[in-house]
Amino acid sequence: MVSVATEPLLLAERRYAIVATPADPLVLENGWSLAPVTLCYEVCGELNAARDNAILITHALTGDSHVAGRYDQSDRKPGWWDDAVGPGKAIDTSRYCVICSNVLGGCQGSTGPASTDPATGRPYGLAFPVITARDMVRAQARLIAQLGINRLVAVIGGSLGGMKALEWAVTYPDRLLGAIPIGGAGRFHPQGIAFNEVQRQAIMSDPGFRGGQYYGTDGPARGLAIARMLGMITYRSDESMWQQFGREMRNPDPGPDLASGLGVAYQVESYLHYQGAALVSRFDANAYLCLSRAMDLQDLSRGFVSYEAGHGGIRAKVLAIGIRSDLLFPTYLQQETVRLVQAAGGDAAYIEMDSVWGHDAFLVDFHLIADRVGQFLGSLTKAA
């Protein structure tokens, strides 16, 4: 692996765009008007003179705009998808201009529940409107228009990001050549909705939640940590848990009285507690509620006579990628996407990651699909 010192420098810095104002608000699917709306975004690579080499990457539930690169030469901050994005990589920043924005409803620089409600001067909290993936995409479309880009090479994302990639293809069929949803779908399945509801209840049942107006306090730290612990279980597979942890105990000699306490005994438990604490330190609980509900609500059939019809207007080429061991977005969902796009006369293909790492495989094992993704992107620009 190339060392940091000799790695080609990829600069990425946070930028901010006001995509909705009181004079031109963002009208949401529920009919509400939201303004002002700011999106935080980062750009890796250069936009060419024709402004036709841009790729939009859409992040998952707790992601942010820092998809790859570093902020400056002295301070390396790894991106969440450095394996995929960079010079000479599958999403090649020496060829493409990569844009990634923190989503509407997020908490990493974009307008969300922690933002100031102009009507009250306080954080929105639970007063922040219910949003959908379509609302997120409409906000992103305004950003892309502000950047002077008429058509994207592709929209790529995993998990909730995969949902948004498909939503882009439905809502703006003429503004992208390709869509690559990885471990995503046009609608969530009932087990996924059930997992999300338990996580939300963990947050809202925490006394520190205070009806969503916990800002300035410690907030529902325990509830958010528990939500993340459950979420992490859905992101992993039984295979990966055996491979990484097995039944290994933190203390290999716990003594004869195993029933004396219910503390953290196994390494897998320690891992979950660590992940829970890590999310609490960087994420807003209300944003977790907002974005997880958006996952539940995603449904390409809205505005169409059927779910099948929702796929009928997709003109972009679709490369749907499933993950063999995915519990959260089982592979039948990506296969269904391909079947429905093809049935409507569209161009769609399916490939599967043979990874033990469950839903997280798109982050952990991207190398398994790197060549295919690079080839797919190359085919889009050749066809154009």
Write out the catalytic residue numbers.
Answer: 159, 326, 359
Q: C-alpha distances in angstroms, 108 versus 48, 61, 62, 133, 155?
A: 28, 12, 9, 17, 20
Helix (H) or strand (E) holding 56: strand 54-58
Angle between helical axes of 160-171 and 133-146 (0-180°, round to 10) = 70
What token pair was written down for 216? Answer: 């300035």
Q: Which residues pair with 317 in a beta bridge?
A: 178
Residue with the two structure tokens 């796929």: 311
Cβ-based neighbours of 255, under 8 Å, separated by 6 or more? none
Q: Cis bond leading into 36, ω under 30°?
A: yes
Q: C-alpha distances in angstroms, 383 versus 160, 376, 379, 380?
A: 28, 11, 6, 5
Could you say which DSSP state residue 354 is in?
-
What token pair was written down for 137? Answer: 């995409």
Q: C-alpha distances in angstroms, 121 versus 17, 134, 216, 262, 362?
A: 21, 27, 14, 44, 40
